[in-house]
């Protein structure tokens, strides 16, 4: 869902963005050499413009987002320093499970989906689609899912550092030609699983929400394999996605706010904003 363009600062962010660009270029050149129709120039350009806006807004809002994190950390219940592999593994599982819940909520709550839909708007899955990210997503409520881990006592830098590593892993889930990873497919979220998540085929909608692991999808009944009888289709179901990056970032915000404005009564507006996406 989120790539190396997000959630980092300073020299590390520049190195991450540079590596991501090199991998995108490498994927394109390799597939082009083999004659694969995997990229669309306008769509890839739009994704890169959107990724740049996401990065700029992320850096500009970092200080604002730090305020609730530091406040919750000062009132934490326990101190859980990350010392040794056991606690690091515990934090990894806690963060990955929290990401699963967050990702699932982004598909079931229209307010959250309005941001997440930007990522799903790509009609071709390749590494450029990985960086097609909403502008200011954490400001619209995403941060709230991870504050309980800070309140419990995990160090904020450890929580969001672990989240960042998971998001970096997800960059590679958008490979246009995914390999089969054998037994690892039972445990890890892989490019094959993530293509199903991005597909707009009816049997694929709201499936495979995992971050690094796919086991939570298997446990909670949200896992799906690719349908064997039909090719996967990508993009937003029932929506024509424009090529203009500025229109893409509001592709779901605009109709949601319009519906809320036209609704009669507070309850109707709340159902539109926080009920399931249409």
| Lowest-confidence pick of 27-36, 166-175, 204-213, 262-271 | 27-36
DSSP letter (8 states) at residue 4: T
What is the pLDDT, as a whole number, of residue 238? 86
Buried b (16+ CB within 10 A) or exposed e, 110-128: bbbbbbbbbbbbbebbbbb
- What mean pLDDT comes out for the span 124-136? 96
- What mean pLDDT comes out for the span 231-254? 93
pTM: 0.93
C-alpha closest to that of 116 among 95, 99, 94: 99
What is the pLDDT, as a whole number, of residue 278? 75
pLDDT higher than threshold 50 for residue 12: no
What is the pLDDT, as a whole number, of residue 2? 41
Per-chain mean pLDDT for the chain: 93
**Cβ 126 vs Cβ 28: under 8 Å:** yes
Burial label, 228 (beta-carbon count in 10 A; 0-12, 13-18, 19+): exposed
**Alpha carbon of 269 to those of 113, 137, 140, 152, 261: distances in Å?**
16, 21, 17, 34, 7
DSSP letter (8 states) at residue 195: H
- Helix, strand, or coil (residue 168): helix
**Cβ 126 vs Cβ 27: under 8 Å:** yes
Chain segment 212-240, per-residue pLDDT in tens = 999 999 999 999 999 988 999 999 988 88
Q: Where are the domains of the chain?
A: 10-274
- Helix, strand, or coil (residue 234): strand
**Cβ 252 vs Cβ 113: under 8 Å:** yes
């Amino acid at each position: 869902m989120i790539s190396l363009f997000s959630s980092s600062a300073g020299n590390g962010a520049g190195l991450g963005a540079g590596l991501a660009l090199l991998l995108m270029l490498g994927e394109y050149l390799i597939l082009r050499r083999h004659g694969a129709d995997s990229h669309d120039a306008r769509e890839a350009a739009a994704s890169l413009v959107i990724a740049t806006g996401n990065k700029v807004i992320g850096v500009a809002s970092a200080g604002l987002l730090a305020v609730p994190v530091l406040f919750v950390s000062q009132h934490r219940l326990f101190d859980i320093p990350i010392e040794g592999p056991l606690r690091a593994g515990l934090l990894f599982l806690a963060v990955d499970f929290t990401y699963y819940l967050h990702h699932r909520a982004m598909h079931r709550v229209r307010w959250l989906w309005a941001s997440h839909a930007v990522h799903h708007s790509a009609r071709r899955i390749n590494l450029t689609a990985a960086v097609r990210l909403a502008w200011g997503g954490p400001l619209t409520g995403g941060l709230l899912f991870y504050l309980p881990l800070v309140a419990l006592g995990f160090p904020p830098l450890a929580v969001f550092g672990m989240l960042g590593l998971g998001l970096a892993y997800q960059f590679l889930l958008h490979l246009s030609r995914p390999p089969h990873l054998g037994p690892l497919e039972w445990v890890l979220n892989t490019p094959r699983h993530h293509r199903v998540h991005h597909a707009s085929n009816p049997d694929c909608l709201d499936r495979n929400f995992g971050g690094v692991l796919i086991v939570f999808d298997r446990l909670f009944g949200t896992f799906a394999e690719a349908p064997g009888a039909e090719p996967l289709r990508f993009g937003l179901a029932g929506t024509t996605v424009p090529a203009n990056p500025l229109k893409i970032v509001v592709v779901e915000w605009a109709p949601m706010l319009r519906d809320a404005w036209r609704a009669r009564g507070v309850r109707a507006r709340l159902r539109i904003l926080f009920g399931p996406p249409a």
